[in-house]
Structure 1
Amino acid sequence: MSIEKELENRSGGVCELCGSSDGLSVLEVAPSDGSAQQSIYVCTTCKEQIQNPQKMDETHFNCLNDSMWSEVPAVAVMSYRLLKALGREDLVDMMYMEDDVKSWAEAGLSSASENVVVRDSNGVVLNAGDSVVIIKDLDVKGAGFTAKRGTTVRNITIPQDVADHIEGRVNGTKIYLKTEFLKKA
């Protein structure tokens, strides 16, 4: 029996993460030996977001509340990694995995942790070049002005060292802004 057929039978013909039945395919959970036990059956949406973490949509992955409890180790490992990437430590802390499964899940996090995901006050992912709107008057220390609520900051940059800040120009001055005071424009 082919791996895809085996995964289709195991999943009941739906995505093992979100339950969708659209565009299903096999995704190996690295490091993998290519077997069905180390692969999952996922929809196109889940696969695209797993392969491109900067496009990850947290609302789509609300389904992880269910899939994190899967008895299939590969599904639990992928749920663990996605919850970590989304910063959902509250759900990660609730998960129980055998030691070997947890070490497998941790083994795939080293490269994923390098991609810092920056979110605005509403949880929307921010990328370099985006525009944001300030949602609260902010005193800018050392510059002698207040960044007013409603000001649009265009063409932001994402600093590599800080996960909850962006860099942009307000009143011609380049400043760091905390993401909790911003929303994507």
Structure 2
Amino acid sequence: MHAFFGGYLHCKSGLVQFVHEYDNVLGNKEQKELEDDNADSKEVVPCLSSSTIERQFQREYTTSKFREVQQEFRKSGDCLVRGVTQEGDLFRVIVNEQYLLYGEPKSWTNSVKFDPAIHKVRCECNMFESRGILCCYCLTVFFYYGVDKVPSRYVIPRWSKNVQQKHTFIKSSHDEKRSDESHNLFRGLCSHFYNVT
């Protein structure tokens, strides 16, 4: 709640002020989403490497989510495979990450289970399950086994720059403020082509 209304309300705000500010918050959030969508359609963040996996995420993800993915690509440069054991059809890969903490060299080890037949990975850090992006350990395993494209299960449609956002077709009180001719034409086109894919 505080993150949503931060800068608009305080602890002594009344109900009337809440209703008025709620409308302002929605208008500002809607405007920010439109600006972000526009930026994602135009801006292309350059890749840090020549990895085809990084290019895959660059094509698919919004700018902000791709930058998060790039942080994991950076960290994967500090990771090494330290051991591999086979457990049935799966491989258990031990990945060691080297990093600096207050100027002191440190290391962290994680275990990744990898299915080479379907390129399925699962890291014990659970970053994909919690944040929806592959961790540096999973990326290291993909690089180690020469995987050049991640399966679609690891590309979450929620952060796709090509996703069709149905909430933008919901009318709000702020639409009246933007009732110029070009905006009305755009809304009309959207309503006609909404179900065409």
User: TM-score with structure 2 length normalisation?
Assistant: 0.24
**Higher relative contact order structure (alpha carbons within 8 Å, sequence separation ≥ 6):** 2
- What TM-score does the superposition give when structure 1 sets the normalisation length? 0.25
More helix by share: 2
Larger radius of gyration: 2
